A and B are shown apart, each in its own frame.
Chain A
Amino acid sequence: MTEQAAPLVPLVQLTGIGKSYGTIRALHGVDLAVNAGEVSCVLGDNGAGKSTLIKIVTGLHRHTEGEFRIDGEPVRPSSPREPLARGIAAVYQDLATVTLMPVWRNFWLGSELTRGRGPFKRLDIDRMKRTADEALRAMGIALDDLSQPVGSLSGGQRQSVAIARAVHFGARVLILDEPTAALGVKQSGVVLKYIAAARERGLGVVFITHNPHHAYMVGDHFTVLRLGTVELSAPRAEVTLEELTLHMAGGAELAALKHELARVTGVDTGQLPEANEGSTEGSTSTERK
Chain B
Amino acid sequence: MTAAAVPSLPRRALSRPEMGALIGALAVYVLFWAVAPSFRQLDSLSTVLYQSSTLGIMGLAVALLMIGGEFDLSAGVAVTSSALTASMVAFQFTLNVWSGVLVALALSLAIGAFNGFLLVRTKLPSFLVTLGTFLMLQGLNLAITKAVTGNVATDSIRDMDGFDQARNVFSATIGIGGTDIRVTVLWWLGFAALASWVLLRTPYGNWIFAVGGNQDSARAVGVPVTFVKISLFMLVGFAAWFVGMHQLFAFNTMQSGGGVGNELLYIAAAVIGGCLLTGGYGSIAGPVIGAFLFGMVSQGIVYADWDPDWFMFFLGAMLLLATLLNLYVRKQATRRRRT
Name A's B-contacting residues (CB within 8 A): 92, 95-101, 105, 108-112, 114, 121-123, 125, 129, 133, 144-146, 148-149, 152
**10 interchain pairs, CB-CB under 8 A:** A95-B217, A95-B220, A98-B214, A109-B210, A110-B210, A122-B201, A144-B1, A146-B1, A149-B334, A152-B337
- Chain B residues with Cβ below 8 Å from A144 are 1, 5
The 8 closest A-B pairs by CB, nearest first: A110-B221, A110-B222, A112-B203, A98-B213, A144-B5, A100-B280, A98-B214, A122-B201
Cβ-neighbour of A133 out of B1, B207, B337 (below 8 A)? B1
When distances are taken between beta carbons in the complex, the residues of chain B under 8 Å from A99 are: 213-214
> Is A123 within 8 A of B338, CB to CB?
no
* Other-chain residue from A98, A108, A110 in contact with B280 (beta carbon distance below 8 A): A98
Please tell me if B132 contacts chain A, counting CB pairs below 8 Å: no
Expressed in whole angstroms, the Cα–Cα distance for A144 and B8 within the complex equals 13
Q: Name the B residues within 8 Å of A101 (CB-CB).
A: 206, 209-210, 213, 280
Contact across chains for A111 and B220 when beta carbons are under 8 A apart? no
16 additional contacts, CB 8 Å, given A101-B206, A109-B223?
A: A95-B217, A97-B214, A98-B210, A98-B217, A100-B280, A101-B209, A101-B210, A101-B213, A109-B206, A109-B207, A110-B223, A122-B201, A122-B202, A125-B201, A144-B1, A152-B337
Q: Quick one: closest A residue to B205, CB to CB?
A: A123
Query: Which secondary structure dominates chain A's binding surface?
Result: loop
Contact A123 B209 (CB under 8 A): no
Chain B interface residue bracket vs A:
20 to 34
**Contact across chains for A145 and B7 when beta carbons are under 8 A apart:** yes
Q: How far is the CB of B96 from chain A (nearest CB, A)?
A: 29
Interface residues in chain B, defined as those with a beta carbon under 8 Å from any beta carbon in chain A: 1, 5-7, 197, 201-203, 205-207, 209-210, 213-214, 216-218, 220-223, 276, 280-281, 334, 337-338
Shortest Cβ distance from B201 into A: residue:
A122
Bound-state CA distance A105–B210 (Å) is 9
Report the separation of the CA atoms of residues A92 and B206 in the bound assembly, to the nearest whole angstrom: 21
For residue A108, which residues in chain B have a CB less than 8 angstroms away from its CB? 206
Closest-CB distance, B64 to chain A (whole angstroms): 15
Instruction: Please determine whether B220 and A112 come into contact, CB atoms closer than 8 angstroms.
Output: no
Closest-CB distance, B268 to chain A (whole angstroms): 21
A110 and B228 CA atoms in complex are apart in Å by: 12
Partner of A95, one of B1, B5, B209, B216: B216
CB <8 Å contact, A121 and B210 = no
Tell me the complex Cα distance, A95–B221, Å: 9
Chain A residues whose CB sits within 8 angstroms of the CB of B201 once the complex forms: 122-123, 125
Query: Which of A100, A125, A148, A152 has the most C-beta atoms of chain B within 10 angstroms of its own C-beta?
Result: A100
- Alpha-carbon distance A121/B202, docked complex (angstroms): 7
Q: How far is the CA of A123 from the CA of B207 in the complex (A)?
A: 12
Contact of A92 among B220, B222, B337 (CB under 8 A): B220
Rounded to whole angstroms, the CA-CA distance of A152 and B335 in the bound complex is 9
CA A109 – CA B203 in complex, angstroms?
8
**Contact partner of A123 among B7, B202, B276, CB < 8 A?**
B202
Provide the bound-state CA to CA distance between A145 and B210, in Å: 20
Bound Cα distance from A105 to B67, whole angstroms: 15
| CB closest chain-A residue, reference B280 | A100
